[in-house]
């Protein structure tokens, strides 16, 4: 299988897994502990961007945010298409699928459904969703690819 097939297959899988997980998790009745002192399930709607920055409460703000996200998605799709290695293609694919998942949430619900609350004991860190996890994993793979590529050229 070539790099592009991997990349866009991973993007589709990340998008689909996030959508399915959200449909199931939205139906759960309440919050609960997953790993004591580390992770909880919590219903949360994020109307902003990462860490709820730039929260939007009206339709024009939401549309502006969605337009900005759509531009980023196009840029990432081009980078995905041009990926030089299979590892970077998979990384870009994860980022693309996650970004599409968050855009779909904004379109359907006006906000992103976050459900995984992470903390260290009583120190709250953040709340995220499957799309955010895919984006973060993609960034880690791109960093790993950069280190691997750099070590091969030395």
Residue 75 CB: number of other CB atoms within 10 A?
12
Cβ atoms of 33 and 116 within 8 Å: the answer is: no
Question: Looking at 40, 58, 105, 132, which residue is catalytic?
Answer: 132
Question: Looking at 40, 58, 105, 114, which residue is catalytic?
Answer: 114
Beta strand pairing call for 39-46 and 112-120: antiparallel
Place of tokens 């995905």: 80
| Angle in degrees, CA 117, 35, 38, rounded to 5 | 50
Longest dimension (CA), the chain: 55
58 is catalytic: no
31 is catalytic: no
Annotated active-site positions, please? Answer: 114, 132
């Amino acid at each position: 299988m070539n790099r592009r097939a991997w990349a866009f297959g991973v993007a589709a899988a990340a998008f689909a897994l996030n959508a399915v997980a959200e449909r199931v998790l939205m139906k759960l009745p309440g919050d609960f502990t997953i790993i004591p002192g580390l992770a909880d399930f919590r219903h949360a709607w994020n109307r902003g961007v990462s860490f709820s920055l730039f929260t939007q409460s009206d339709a024009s703000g939401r549309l502006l945010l969605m337009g900005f996200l759509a531009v980023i998605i196009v840029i990432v799709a081009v980078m995905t298409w041009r990926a030089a290695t299979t590892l970077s293609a998979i990384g870009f694919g994860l980022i693309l699928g996650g970004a599409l998942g968050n855009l779909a949430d904004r379109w359907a619900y006006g906000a992103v459904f976050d459900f995984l609350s992470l903390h260290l004991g009583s120190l709250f860190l953040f709340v995220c969703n499957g799309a955010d996890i895919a984006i973060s994993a993609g960034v880690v793979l791109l960093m790993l690819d950069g280190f691997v590529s750099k070590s091969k050229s030395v």
